[in-house]
Amino acid sequence: MLIDEALNRFLVQLQADGRSVHTLAQYRRHVGLLARWLRREGHSGAIGKIGHEDLARFLVAPEARQRPDGKAKKATSGNVLRSSLRAFFGYLHKAGYVRQDPSRLIRRARCGASPPRGLSAEERQKLLAALAGANSDAGIRDRALFGLMLAAGPRIGSVLALEVGDVDLAAGELWLRRTKGDQPERVYLSAGICRQLSACIGTRRQGPLFPAHHGGHLGARGVRIRFAAWCRRAGIERRVSPHGLRHAFAMTLYERTGDLLLVKEALRHRSIASTVIYARCAPDRLRQAIAG
């Protein structure tokens, strides 16, 4: 069996296991890198002929160590690639397609967790100030959308799936129907966000909470483009994704409360290990603690 056919079978198994489209795309991309490298090296691509030395040579090759722009990948990105290869070949071994797992010697590189790439307090104020001046229908929608993400921290996929009926402005809460793990989740809203959502909803009683110009749901790509435009208008020069709003929410909540368990529940993490990255001590607090 050739690697391309093996990858297709692996992806079908992942779909059967309920893995997300994003996870499938990542495995397809990573194993695809290996397949292209094998072809460049003159390898047949037969999975039974891929050994641990082939994988080691691939992991030190430019295809594995460099980004498309030629810059070096971060150590964390290299670890994700290693994990993808281990999962792929582990599946082939368990399914009986290969006699021995060639990824058995692969180890993750030691590296510290990267700090979350959220907006600073100054950047948050700049963005909110820019959004406050929005007066078009699209601008009012964007103010409510990005304001909700910054004030409550939901994932972008969950937000874009919201319907008008999912919001209870009187109670100050909304229900996320599409979530990681497919468990409906309740989000509490501040009075300010309720006012923004009310302006966005207007007289509508049904349909997408954040509609596109054609009346359907906004797409993630369109939101990224809109967010980048608002960041430029706000004078935020560095590249920030909409997911940075979730990080900014978490960092702000931890700074205000110092309660990591509270942040975990607000982000709806399954494990507190995913939340620990926000538990970073501010230099001023450290100075005061030592001096005090």
The confidence band for 285, taking pLDDT boundaries of 50, 70 and 90, is: low
Cα angle 236-240-243, degrees, rounded to a multiple of 5:
135
Distances (CA, A) of 65 to 55, 57, 79, 85, 172: 13, 11, 11, 14, 48
Does 20 lie in the same domain as 78? yes
Does 60 lie in the same domain as 154? no
Q: Domain limits at 130? A: 121-284
Q: What is the pLDDT of residues 230-284, one digit of tens each?
A: 999 999 988 889 999 999 999 899 888 888 899 998 888 888 888 888 876 556 6
Does 165 lie in the same domain as 39? no
CA–CA gap between residue 289 and residue 282 (Å, rounded)? 11
Q: What is the pLDDT of residues 160-185, one digit of tens each?
A: 999 999 999 999 999 998 877 667 88
Does 158 lie in the same domain as 207? yes
By the 8 A CB rule, do 253 and 127 touch? no
Distances (CA, A) of 104 to 12, 13, 76, 158, 241: 23, 21, 20, 37, 35
- What is the CATH classification number for the domain harbouring 235? 1.10.443.10
Q: How many domains does the chain have?
A: 2
CA–CA gap between residue 200 and residue 195 (Å, rounded)? 9
- Which of residues 24, 59, 94 is at a domain's end? 94
User: pTM for the complete prediction?
Assistant: 0.67
By the 8 A CB rule, do 102 and 6 touch? no
Does 179 lie in the same domain as 63? no
Helix axes 121-132, 243-257, angle to 10 degrees: 120
Does 205 lie in the same domain as 88? no
Does 154 lie in the same domain as 65? no
Domain-embedded: residue 111: no
Does 133 lie in the same domain as 57? no
